[in-house]
Amino acid sequence: MIRSELRRLLATRLGWAIVLAPAAIGLGLVGAMTATGPENFQPPMPGLDTAEGVRLLLGVLGLSAFVPAALGTMAVTAEYRHRTIDATFLHAPRRGRVLAGKLVVHAGAGLVYGLVLATTSAAALYGVSALRGTALGLPPGEVLGVLARIGAAMAVYLVIGVGAGALLHNQVAALAAVVGYLYVGEPLLMLMPGVGGVYPLLPGGATSALTGFTYVADAMSAEVGTASITLLTPVLGALVLLGYAVVAAVAAVLAPMRRDVV
């Protein structure tokens, strides 16, 4: 089952996207931000010669979580869109096994994605800052730690995407739901009074806790004028995020069980 899903993934452009998308984000986004320098952002942020500046810059990567989530969603919904799901369930009438195979393969793909993102981001950060002659305000060990956690978060988002795709089937609807939630839904939720308290438990909040990225939470609390939102500790954030992945995985395995495929 795993070999089959691996073959399926590697024979499509989605297989390339697992490597190329994070490389583009790592080299392009981090490269551009490092070249500009956070001190020149609007509004200005602490520069890269401060620990906070480096953390903020890397934390922005957490906002690209919708990319792996979308890739995971597309991987599953492609089966319904192109009507290969019939052949798939004919070859494996115990449908949970199909989804389990997909989860394993895409968790692996998620780790590759995260690794590429972390590596290219590190290369861009150190390469461009060396060119600019800026000494980073955060020691390499900590930089790599933050990047490793971002990479792990990306793997989790890819799995969450697989779960969402298995639940919704329709590619456009599933993509709209996943990307829409991460990009629009969650920020909107935070503007609602009272929801701010829940934010640390939402996927975005948990990701920020894991990566130590407080910019969004701080900006939101400043905007709404509430007390500053306190994020979970990185470990708790990681656990909450993993919890979402487990829920998505269980949903993915159970969802197609009894449904008629017409």
Partner 1 sequence: MKIEIAGLSKRFGRVTAVDGLSFTARPGAVTAFLGPNGAGKTTTMRILLGLVAPTSGTATIGGRAYRDLPHPTRTVGAVLDAAGFHPAHSARDHLRVYAAMGGHPDARVAELIDRAGLTAAADRPTRGYSTGMRRRLALATALLGDPQVLVLDEPGNGLDPEGVVWLRETLRDLARRGRTVLVSSHVLGEVDRLADEAVVIRDGRLAAAGPADGDLEAMYLDTALGTAKEARP
Rule CB under 8 A: which residues touch partner 1?
1, 3-4, 7-8, 11-13, 78, 82-84, 86-94, 98, 258, 260-262
Contact yes or no for 241/206 (Cβ under 8 A): yes
Closest CA to 160 of 179, 139, 187: 179
Question: Among residues 31 and 101, whose Cβ is nearest to partner 1?
Answer: 101
Give the integer Cα–Cα distance in Å for 51 and 215: 14
| Cβ at position 197, least distance to partner 1 in Å | 43
Cβ atoms within 10 A of the Cβ of 184, count?
11
Q: How far is the CB of 94 from partner 1 (least distance, A)?
A: 7
Crossing angle (nearest 10°) for helices 95-132 and 234-254: 150
CB closer to partner 1 out of 82 and 141: 82
From its phi and psi, is residue 38 left (phi > 0), alpha (psi between -120 and 50) or beta? alpha
Task: Report the residue number, 171 or 211, with the smaller CB distance to partner 1.
Answer: 171
Residue 75 vs 241, nearer CB to partner 1:
75
Identify the H or E element spanning 53: helix 51-59
Q: Which is nearer to partner 1, 133 or 260 (CB)?
A: 260
Judged by CB, which is closer to partner 1: 53, or 165? 165
In whole angstroms, how close is the CB of 17 to partner 1 at the nearest point? 12
Least distance between partner 1 and beta carbon 83 (Å): 3
CA atoms of 236 and 220, how far apart (whole Å): 21
Retrieve residue 73's tokens: 């969603």
Q: How far is the CB of 98 from partner 1 (least distance, A)?
A: 8
CB of 100 to partner 1, least distance (A): 13
CA–CA distances in Å: residue 65 to residues 27, 42, 101, 125 = 16, 23, 23, 19
Nearest CA-CA partner of 102 in 165, 169, 179: 165
